Structure 1
């Protein structure tokens, strides 16, 4: 990989890592209802990428179903989880999409794994359990449970992508945004309150966080990453994207003053080691699983 392309990948992972921290600030500190924030984000993506909606995909019904999994439902659960889960822990937990994709490839696509990937799956989950479970109080983080479910839902969307003809990243983003924002606004209206008041309370800082999520993540992040996919093998890129959760932990500590604990450090090392093993030993029946999730769900 050239130095210029590595710098681009570094910047993309930096943007993705910052995104989880900014989202945590929006839904936890500012108090913007999480489903409403997801709706506004997808509305912005759909508006900015409207030119990528053409030509119309052949299987709109399947694309709508995929959009619900990697878009509306995934982000709703993720943002709800971030109301109570720390960004640093959420950054690591979100990486469970890789082992989930491998497990579902085994169940539904006939993927066979060796002992190394099996060990990687166990390490991935063991690290997250260590982070989420507090033995001193025998309690588990409810927020991280939402994020685990979000990772599972996003991986289901990745499996469904197997049934869809190849689609470019920004075109996928445009359709996911178009299909997702209306159901999310309706759901927010039924389940949440104080949407406009929270946005006003956030002021220009909320506006910048929203703009960063739409333009920085969906346009620059996914556009830049897609350009790298066309030049380099996925087996090279996927392990390098583990910079993303590392940045999430670093910025969570620096910007949100989140505490550093032995459980967080040890759990992160164990979980990311497992994800790295899975990433290096490529999924044969669904080689784009990890990439699909990043392009579809915002790299979160």
Structure 2
């Protein structure tokens, strides 16, 4: 990989990691309802990417179902999870999309795995369990359970994408945005209150965070990532994308003053080690499994 392209991937992972923390700040600290914030983001994506809606994809019904999985449902669970879990822990837990995608490629696409990837899957889940479960109170972080659900839904969307004729990355983003914002606004109307007043009253920092999520993450981040995928093998890119959760942990500690605990450090090392093992092993049926949710709407 050229140094220029490495810097581009470095910037993409930094943007993804920072956005996890910004989203946590918006929905938890400022109090913007998470479903409403997700709806605003997808509305912006749909508006900015209107030119990429053409030509119309041939399998529009399948794309609609995919959009519900990797768009509305995925982000509803993700943002509700971020409201109830620390960003640093969520950044690591979100990487379960990699082993979940691998397991789904086994179940639905006939992929076979050896003992190394099997061990990697067990490590990835074991590390997250260590982070999510408090042995002192025998409690489980509800927020991280939502994040796990988000990873599962996003991975299911990735499996369905494998059965659809491929389309460009920005065209996928455009149609996911178009199909996702109305269901999210509907969910927000049914389950949340004070959305508009809270969002407008929060002022320009929230509007800037929204613009960053739309332009920085959905357009720059995913557009640049698709460009790199076309140039380099999955086996080279996928381990490097583990910079994303590392940035998420760093930004969570620095910007949100989240505590550094032994469980977080040990669980992160165990889980990300497992993800790394899976990422560097070749998946013949679904190479994209090594990226988890990154080939859908992305990390956050």
User: 2:55 aligned with 1:55, yes or no?
Assistant: yes
Q: Could you tell me how far 1:34 is from its partner in structure 2?
A: 0.6
Which residue of 2 is the match for residue 139 of structure 1? Answer: 139
Secondary structure of 1:297's aligned partner: coil
Q: Could you tell me how far 1:265 is from its partner in structure 2?
A: 0.2
Q: Could you tell me how far 1:292 is from its partner in structure 2?
A: 7.0
- Alpha-carbon RMSD across the aligned residues, in angstroms, is 0.9
Paired residues of 2:96 and 2:292 also in contact (CA < 8 A)? no
User: 2:95 aligned with 1:72, yes or no?
Assistant: no
How many pairs does the alignment contain?
Answer: 300
Paired residues of 2:97 and 2:292 also in contact (CA < 8 A)? no
- Matched residues in 2 for 1:238 and 1:226: separation? 12
Q: Could you tell me how far 1:163 is from its partner in structure 2?
A: 1.1
Which residue of 2 is the match for residue 125 of structure 1? Answer: 125
Equivalent runs, 1:1-300 vs 2, <5 Å? 1-291=1-291, 293-300=293-300
> What TM-score do you get using the length of structure 2 for normalisation?
0.98
Structure 1, residues 93-147: CA drift from partner, whole Å, max 9, x if none? 0000010011111111111100000000000000000000000111110000000
Structure 1: tracts of 5 or more residues without a match: none
Secondary structure of 1:190's aligned partner: helix
**Following TM superposition, where does structure 1 have runs of at least 4 consecutive aligned residues deviating by more than 4 angstroms?**
none
Paired residues of 2:234 and 2:290 also in contact (CA < 8 A)? no
- Matched residues in 2 for 1:104 and 1:185: separation? 30
- Matched residues in 2 for 1:292 and 1:137: separation? 31
Secondary structure of 2:251's aligned partner: helix
Q: Could you tell me how far 1:290 is from its partner in structure 2?
A: 4.0
Structure 1, residues 2-53: CA drift from partner, whole Å, max 9, x if none? 1111000000000000010000000001111111111000000000000000
Paired residues of 1:30 and 1:201 also in contact (CA < 8 A)? no
Q: Could you tell me how far 1:299 is from its partner in structure 2?
A: 2.1
Q: Could you tell me how far 1:240 is from its partner in structure 2?
A: 0.3
- Matched residues in 2 for 1:292 and 1:94: separation? 9
- Matched residues in 1 for 2:270 and 2:88: separation? 15
Q: Could you tell me how far 1:282 is from its partner in structure 2?
A: 2.0
Structure 2: tracts of 5 or more residues without a match: none
- Matched residues in 2 for 1:281 and 1:192: separation? 43
> What TM-score do you get using the length of structure 1 for normalisation?
0.98
Paired residues of 2:158 and 2:295 also in contact (CA < 8 A)? no
Q: Could you tell me how far 1:295 is from its partner in structure 2?
A: 3.3
